[in-house]
Chains A and B, each alone.
Chain A
Amino acid sequence: MKTRWEILVVDDEEVMRESLAAWLREDGYSADTAASGREAINKARQKEYAMYFVDLKMPGGIDGIETMMEIHRLQPDASIIIITAYATVDTAITAMKEGAQEYIVKPCNLEEISLLVNRIIGVKNLQRENALLKKKLNRRYSLQDIISKNPRMQEIFRLIKEIASLKSTVLIQGESGTGKELIARAIHYTGERATKPFVGVSCAALAETLLESELFGHEKGSFTGAVAQKKGKFELAGGGTIFLDEIGDIPAKLQLDLLRVLQERSFYRVGGTEEIRVDVRVIAATNVNLQEAVREGVFREDLYYRLNVISIRIPPLRERLEDVPLLAHHFLEQLSLQLGKKVEHISEAALRLLMNHSWPGNVRELENVIERALVTCRDSLLSEDDFQFLAHELEGKKVLQESPVLTLRELEKQAIEVALRRTQGNMKEAAAVLGIDRSTLYEKIKKYEIAR
């Protein structure tokens, strides 16, 4: 199926413009006509045509070249093809110099004109696709893509705009699934570093030595397996932003190394002697209370202050329940497209059910819940019935919540044990049920010494 591109045919001879327009319509384009340069310019002011066929010799004051120049001024991206019966090399050169994309002599061969139009429209299709993809890419990480009408979140959006182009370190704190990485990316892509790399590292996912080489790189032969020199994430993020996720889990030695990078803006590769200087903005994120970790002596106080220059605390979803319907509709729109489902609405009763949930896994849990409901939904509406699994989980949780002797730690441990039992130890499914990512689940299993 061809896209209906709009083409304007400009010729003072009626039979010429109407016959060419008729042929273009048969070829699937939407063709309009103008009898003079003036009429063409007026039409170009009102509508954007993808392509213009302009006759060179036209009476009435404005000739083809002048018409073309004016159209170019109005629509710099339009393709203009000059047509004339009086072909001379001079007029061709003038037309091309003034910005005509092509120059044809009438009467022209059907094959020639068809190839010409197809070639130009082919390029236009690619340009449009490219622009759409670029827009999509930027949108994915822009502030507009973070959905919230909560005043505290709005405050965060304002702060992001103010600090986006600064070099200061940012510390993002929030529970699992609140969208810390999304905020970090929004800061990067809103600021002056947007065209430079954004490099993310999850500090909890790797063992100490691996993390060290991941962050700072290593020299060839610096340890077993270091068969070649490798650049670290700090170097790869040069000029851009490094995002250190789960910074609260970073081991003591690396805390010291990181402190040095933040102070000196330089470091050494593992096994290296050359000091490497970097211009990198650091954004760190954590779901643990760093102040408490400092008090407990597991996190360096000086590093905490170095990181906590600009602090952003993302509220959990249960504290901004007004966002639940907005987010639910957003995920429905996005996921139904991805899953190829024609589900367009969520019933009032289903939304009430979602608003009553406490969302321990935050926005990520909500996304998973919508996906799970969509997979089994057989209707064009997500109803309360599609979220029955959530009601069952709620009941289970209520039993837990009613027990007053449990600490939060124990509560979390129990929730993980229940999820693992229910999914027969399937980590991916258990993480989805809990609304956390797999690396967080691994980390918590380790932390609470849960048998799998």
Chain B
Amino acid sequence: MRELVSLRPPDSSRLLALTEKDLFIPMLSFIYGQAQLGGHVAMVSLARLRQEFYQMPTNHRLTVSRAVKECFHELGHTFGLVHCLIAECPMALSTNIVQLDRKTADFCHACSIMLAEAIAHLRQGQG
């Protein structure tokens, strides 16, 4: 994450990194992604989003859809959003692939409002 922070071009607002590597943070056995809460950088691992990881046939469409939801989730964190209690919202916490698949790519009403506010602040040059 520290390296990503140093890599972010100064004229960009957010830097999102994608990796094929399986990620973990020292306390936890694995994570799908990581972000700076209210910061500028985030990363998502594709390793556990692929069906092959679970000994299933390849399904690119599913991988992309999972990746989009995870990217929304981690980028959401960079805009200050925390985990949402609505299971279908991309900001919901997913601790396994079933929970991730239950999510949609549409932010719930409350998260949409918070995200819109954060983006408005960004446009005004405050974020």
Contacts and interface: CB of A to CB of B under 8 A. Distances in A.
A122 interface: no
A15 interface: yes
A109 to B, nearest CB: 5
B29 A108 contact: yes
Interface in B86-100: 93, 95-96
A84 to B, nearest CB: 12
Contact of A19 (B27, B82, B83): B27
B25 A19 contact: yes
A25 B82 contact: yes
Interface in A67-116: 83, 106-111, 113-114
B71 to A, nearest CB: 15
A23 B95 CA distance: 12
Contact of A28 (B34, B82, B96): B82
Contacts of B34: 22
A13 B25 CA distance: 13
Contact of A106 (B26, B82, B95): B26
A22 B29 CA distance: 15
Nearest to B1: A22
A395 interface: no
Residue from A16, A23, A110 with most neighbouring chain B CB atoms (10 Å): A110
Main SS of the interface on chain A? Answer: helix
A20 B37 contact: no
Contacts, number: 59
Given A2-B82, A2-B85, A114-B93, A26 B35 contact: yes
Given A26-B83, A27-B83, A114-B93, A107 B37 contact: no
B103 interface: no
Interface size class of A (residues with CB under 8 A): 20 to 34
B37 A113 contact: no
Contact of A110 (B31, B77, B85, B110): B31
A107 B95 contact: no
A111 B95 CA distance: 5
Nearest to B25: A19
A335 to B, nearest CB: 30
Contacts of A28: 82-83
Nearest to A118: B93
Contacts of B53: none
Interface in B45-65: none
A13 B95 CA distance: 25
Nearest to A4: B82
A26 B77 contact: yes
Interface string A9-44: 000010110011011011110000000000000000
Contact of A107 (B28, B77, B82, B83): B28
Nearest to A104: B27
A36 B95 CA distance: 30
A109 B83 contact: no
A233 to B, nearest CB: 47
B82 A26 contact: yes
A1 B82 CA distance: 10
Contacts of A27: 82-83, 93
Interface of B: 24-31, 34-37, 77, 82-83, 85, 93, 95-96, 110
8 contacts: A13-B26, A20-B28, A23-B25, A23-B27, A23-B28, A106-B27, A108-B28, A113-B27
Given A15-B26, A27-B83, A110-B30, 4 more contacts: A20-B28, A22-B25, A23-B25, A28-B83
